[in-house]
Amino acid sequence: MKTHLTERFAKSVQPQGPRDLLFFDDEVAGFGLCVDASGARAFVLSYRVAGRKRRLTIGSSPDWSVTAAREEAKRLKREVDAGHDPLGRRIDARKAPTMRDLIGRYLSEHAVHLSERNRSDQASMLRKLVEPDWARARSPTSCPRMSIASSPRSH
């Protein structure tokens, strides 16, 4: 259903039954408010990329104002128009290997070619100095600004 989304509307709409309700904005195509059966509200953007229909959650209603979510939807639509898939980018970032994965891969694929002493030293340093702070961080390809300066121990 198309309607003009406002703060008052977002706060007043109530869930009706076990199904989610979806109200699309009349100003920005694909931008809408989803109200689930429990009453939780989230702003979404529906779009197509490469013939595939996607629905990206922008944020929850109390955390995002209608105006801010609408501006974010406009920005995301510009990305889609440029040929990018914002939801696909989020999914890829979640699937990116962690530093723990990369350390394990380095030790199993590359460190095996080193001398025993060198391999032992590198494994020890990686496991004791790098892994405790960076184990759950995603790989640098998904986080290009990752550096030693932003390590928790450097503060």
Contact 1, 13 (CB under 8 A): no
Task: Quote the pLDDT of residue 134.
Answer: 85
Residues 49 and 81 in one domain: yes
Phi, psi of 24 (to 5 degrees): -95, 145
Number of domains within the chain: 2
Range of the domain at 130: 97-138
Residues 83 and 130 in one domain: no
Q: What tokens appear for 24 in the block? A: 């699309």
Q: What tokens appear for 126 in the block? A: 């990686």
Residues 40 and 11 in one domain: yes
pTM of the model: 0.66
Residues 26 and 86 in one domain: yes
Residues 67 and 25 in one domain: yes
Residues 76 and 113 in one domain: no
Q: Whose CA is closest to 96, among 133, 137, 130?
A: 137
* Chain centre distance of CA 84: 15
Give the model confidence (pLDDT) of 72-116 as tens digits. 999 999 999 999 999 988 888 788 888 888 899 999 999 999 999
Task: Quote the pLDDT of residue 34.
Answer: 95
